């Protein structure tokens, strides 16, 4: 991760092919499948969004589009409505796994697909903060600092 305070996100490692030391660790090469398995309830949204462009029986949209165009809007919808606490806990638990991954591309995906957009929205960040684990919060702090958005973090989240 970027620790020099510059305004850049972590560099993707582009590899993602390394075998993780922990069999259960999230790796970029498999995260799309993990996402599809863990959040099968989003299948209808995926079909509605991508069926006109893909044969979903043989093609799966890319990882970043799934996270940015399917999961992020769902998270924002849930945060704004406050309706489904269990789903938010499950999603943010997944984000915590991503934040703890040794695969830098997984961390980059987390950074770009949800945490960076949240850092720019004080209200959503406040709502999301209570669901975040420590590693996710640390990443959000890093993003906020690098983007000059620390004032959008909850008071207890600022360093």
Q: Report if residue 16 sits inside a domain.
A: no
| In a domain? residue 2 | no
Considering the domain boundaries, does residue 4 fall inside one? no
Residue 12 is assigned to a structural domain of this protein: no
Per-residue confidence in pLDDT tens, the chain, 159 aa: 444 444 454 544 444 444 434 555 789 999 999 999 999 999 999 999 999 988 888 988 999 999 999 999 999 999 999 888 899 999 999 999 999 999 999 999 999 999 999 999 999 999 999 999 999 999 999 999 999 999 999 988 776
Answer whether residue 11 is part of any domain: no
In the prediction, which pLDDT does 138 show? 96
Range of the domain at 90: 28-157
The H-assigned helical ranges of the chain are: 28-38, 43-50, 63-66, 72-81, 85-99, 104-110, 116-119, 122-129, 134-147
The total number of structural domains in the chain stands at 1
């Amino acid at each position: 991760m970027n620790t020099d305070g510059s305004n850049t996100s972590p560099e993707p490692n582009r590899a993602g092919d390394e075998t993780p030391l922990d069999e259960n660790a999230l790796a970029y090469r498999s995260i799309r499948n993990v996402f599809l398995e863990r959040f099968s309830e989003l299948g209808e949204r995926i079909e509605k969004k991508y069926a006109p462009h893909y044969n979903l029986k043989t093609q799966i949209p890319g990882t970043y589009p799934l996270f940015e165009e399917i999961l992020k809007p769902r998270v924002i919808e849930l945060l704004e409505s406050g309706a489904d606490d269990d789903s938010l806990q499950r999603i943010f638990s997944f984000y915590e796994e991503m934040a703890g991954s040794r695969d830098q591309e997984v961390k980059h995906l987390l950074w770009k697909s949800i945490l960076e957009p949240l850092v720019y929205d004080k209200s959503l960040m406040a709502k999301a903060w209570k669901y975040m684990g420590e590693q996710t919060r640390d990443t959000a702090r890093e993003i906020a600092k690098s983007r000059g958005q620390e004032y959008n973090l909850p008071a207890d989240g600022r360093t």
